[in-house]
């Protein structure tokens, strides 16, 4: 079952602006990851944040994790047209089977 909820479901902004996407989950996790998917393509791994981390940066990406609220956010700064894609969070739970559970995703459109 999908435990991740993401909002917004769709986001459209102008090139150069910042884009923020949020993800919430239900169970206690080991890690949370963010992936990008271009239309009709496979997944590209963006960043992993561990449950004992609160913030992580990678280039123009900034990820935060609040385990008390069971939520994470992905910030893309200075967006580019090439950032247009769907973004998914995925979690692996502390207990239970070794598997990833994906959020519903945010479709991001960067307008030139």
Partner 1 sequence: GAVVSQHPSRVICKSGTSVKIECRSLDFQATTMFWYRQFPKQSLMLMATSNEGSKATYEQGVEKDKFLINHASLTLSTLTVTSAHPEDSSFYICSASDRGFAYEQYFGPGTRLTVT
112 binds partner 1 (CB under 8 A): no
The verdict on 12 binding partner 1 (CB under 8 A) reads no
1 or 52: CB nearest partner 1: 1
* Contact range with partner 1 by CB under 8 A, out of 1-9, 11-19, 54-62, 75-83: 1-9
**Closest CB 98 distance from partner 1, rounded Å:** 4
What span, in angstroms and rounded, lies between the C-alpha atoms of 40 and 8? 21
Sorted by sequence, the CB contacts under 8 Å of residue 57 that are 6+ apart come out as 63
Measure Cα distances from 27 to 42, 64, 67 in Å: 26, 17, 10
**Contacts with 40 (C-beta within 8 Å, 6 or more apart), sequence order:** none
d(CA 87, CA 112) in angstroms, rounded, equals 19
Q: Would you count residue 85 as binding partner 1 (CB under 8 A)?
A: no
Q: Residue 99 interacts with partner 1 (CB under 8 A)?
A: yes
Residues that bind partner 1 (CB under 8 A): 1-2, 4, 30-31, 33, 35, 40-43, 45, 48, 88, 92, 97-105, 107
């Amino acid at each position: 079952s999908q435990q991740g909820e993401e909002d917004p479901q769709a986001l459209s902004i102008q090139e150069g602006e910042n884009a923020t996407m949020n993800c919430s989950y239900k169970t206690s996790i080991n890690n949370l990851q963010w992936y990008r998917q271009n239309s009709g393509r496979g997944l590209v791994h963006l960043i992993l944040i561990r449950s004992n981390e609160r913030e992580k940066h990678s280039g123009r990406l900034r990820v935060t994790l609040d385990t008390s609220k069971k939520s994470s956010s992905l910030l893309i700064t200075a967006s580019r047209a090439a950032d247009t894609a769907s973004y998914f969070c995925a979690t692996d739970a502390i207990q239970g089977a070794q598997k990833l559970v994906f959020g519903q995703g945010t479709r991001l459109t960067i307008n030139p």
